[in-house]
């Protein structure tokens, strides 16, 4: 067979192989075999040495033509196989955007945060500023400036965790009173603040006591503030928190930093005062401690107690949440049990 005929046959055979290739790897193998240095075309061209000088360039250029034709056929087949592979992959990975999505469960404020924010909103609406205090406090602000000098027996009611002899984790939010009073400029108006935050006590944990809980301190100081202002304010706040029909009553009490001091009860929001398990059949629920700021506390903060008077109160939002939602153990708030916390979810 002439070289020309051999090349023609090789071309026909190769084009057939290329056409029949089913996948890219196979096609690549065909390319390497056909066009490589040891491929059949090179092999056929070895016979060129026996040709005449006239025939040689013709066969040479014919061989080159075949090479480029095969190359082009391979490229075309490659594009075809790639397109087929892509549509196969796309078909396999089709997304059905009409399927319902999987819900992503978002975070939610803790129930105690919700209660505190609700109480904050009530006071902000009444013109109070919100002040942040320190959870790690000095003995000076936590006790002494609250009229609880060293060795005062009332310190026993609020034992705490000491970091050093003079540094402790605060037992109540009352030190914020002293820190705010000593900075207040009365030429700019009355001092009206609340201060929510964590407090700590060396209390034994039980259903109504936790060694870490929350308080919201309240303080108003100005000329002419009286017990009537305290009662009116707390009455309004309790109605906003527990309903318009609530009334409050004040009972005498004792705090070293207020004089006179009171415990404030709110009429039971469940039974309306008739007696039930929430109010332990008394018709009243104890809700906070309060009183008129002791003149000595004012004086220690540089305020003239013959000119200014004030009232203060300290409320336990943990207990408010327990009452509101019928939670019978305060420790539930701190156990991080989702089954408990999810009940207070405000958003999906
Ligand atoms: C005080 O801490 C005063 N500083 C409150 C105060 C402020 C009175 C300003 C007058 C003027 P008391 O120890 O009663 O008071 O605590 C206040 C509230 O904190 C209580 O009514 C109760 O709701 C809450 N509380 C006290 N101890 C615990 C505890 N271990 N666990 C949970 N809540 C508690």
Tens digits of residue pLDDT in 106-130: 788 999 999 999 999 999 999 999 9
**Would you say residue 179 has pLDDT above 90?**
yes
**Would you say residue 24 has pLDDT above 80?**
yes
Q: Return the top range by mean pLDDT from 97-101, 143-147, 148-152.
A: 143-147
Residue nearest to atom 14 of ligand 1 (CA): 289
279 within 8 A of 268, measured Cβ to Cβ? yes
- The C-alpha atoms of residue 111 and residue 329 are separated, in whole angstroms, by 14
Q: Is the peptide bond before 322 cis (omega within 30 degrees of 0)?
A: no
Among 2-6, 65-69, 171-175, the least confident range: 2-6
> Phi-psi category of 146—alpha, beta or left, where left has phi over 0 and alpha has psi -120 to 50?
alpha
Question: Which position has the higher pLDDT, 229 or 205?
Answer: 229
In whole numbers, what is the pLDDT of the chain averaged over residues? 92
pLDDT at 97: 86
230 within 8 A of 325, measured Cβ to Cβ? no
Among 9-23, 118-132, 160-174, 229-243, the least confident range: 9-23
pLDDT at 276: 87
- Residues 186-208 have a mean pLDDT of 94
**Would you say residue 347 has pLDDT above 70?**
no
129 within 8 A of 192, measured Cβ to Cβ? yes
Among 40-54, 134-148, 187-201, 274-288, the least confident range: 40-54
Does 214 sit in the ligand 1 pocket, CB within 6 Å?
no
Residue nearest to atom 20 of ligand 1 (CA): 316
| Atom number in ligand 1 closest to CA 174 | 4
Residue nearest to atom 10 of ligand 1 (CA): 290
Q: Which whole-number Å values give the CA distances from 301 to 221, 226, 289, in the listed order?
A: 12, 19, 21
Portion of the chain with pLDDT greater than 70, in percent: 99
Burial 105-115 (b: 16+ CB within 10 A, else e): eeeeeebbeeb
All structural domains of the chain, each given as residue ranges with its CATH number in brackets, are 3-92 (no CATH), 111-344 (3.30.930.10)
pLDDT tens-place string over residues 210-221: 999 999 999 999
Helix H segments across the chain? 3-20, 24-35, 40-45, 55-92, 111-125, 139-142, 175-181, 227-242, 295-300, 317-325, 338-341
Residue nearest to atom 2 of ligand 1 (CA): 172
């Amino acid at each position: 067979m002439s070289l020309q005929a051999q090349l023609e046959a090789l071309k026909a055979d190769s084009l057939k192989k290329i056409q029949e290739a089913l996948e890219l790897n196979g096609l690549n193998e065909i390319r390497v075999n056909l066009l490589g240095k040891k491929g059949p075309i090179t092999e056929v061209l070895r016979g060129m040495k026996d040709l005449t000088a006239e025939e040689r360039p013709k066969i040479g250029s014919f061989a080159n033509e075949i090479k480029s034709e095969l190359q082009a056929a391979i490229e075309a087949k490659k594009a075809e196989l790639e397109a087929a592979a892509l549509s196969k992959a796309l078909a396999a990975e089709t997304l059905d955007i009409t399927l319902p999505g999987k819900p992503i469960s978002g975070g939610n404020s803790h129930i105690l945060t919700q209660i505190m924010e609700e109480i904050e909103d009530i006071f902000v609406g009444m013109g109070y500023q919100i002040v942040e205090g320190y959870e790690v406090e000095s003995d000076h602000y936590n006790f002494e400036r609250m009229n609880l000098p060293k060795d005062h027996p009332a310190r026993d009611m609020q034992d705490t965790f000491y970091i050093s002899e003079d540094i402790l984790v605060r037992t109540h939010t009352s030190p914020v009173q002293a820190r705010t009073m000593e900075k207040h400029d009365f030429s700019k108006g009355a001092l009206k603040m609340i201060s929510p935050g964590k407090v700590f006590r060396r209390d034994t944990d039980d259903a109504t006591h936790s060694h870490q809980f929350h308080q919201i301190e309240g303080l108003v100081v100005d000329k002419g503030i009286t017990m009537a202002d305290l009662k009116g304010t707390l009455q309004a706040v309790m109605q906003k928190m527990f309903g318009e029909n609530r009334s409050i009553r004040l009972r005498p009490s004792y705090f070293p930093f207020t004089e006179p001091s009171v415990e404030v009860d709110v009429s039971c929001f469940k039974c309306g005062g008739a007696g039930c398990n929430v109010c332990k059949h008394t018709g009243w629920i104890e809700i906070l401690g309060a009183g008129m700021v002791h003149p000595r506390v004012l004086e220690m903060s540089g305020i003239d107690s013959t000119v200014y008077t004030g009232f203060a109160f300290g409320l336990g939002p943990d207990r408010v949440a327990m009452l509101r939602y019928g939670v019978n153990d305060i420790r539930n708030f701190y156990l991080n049990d989702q089954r408990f916390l999810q009940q207070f979810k405000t958003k999906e």
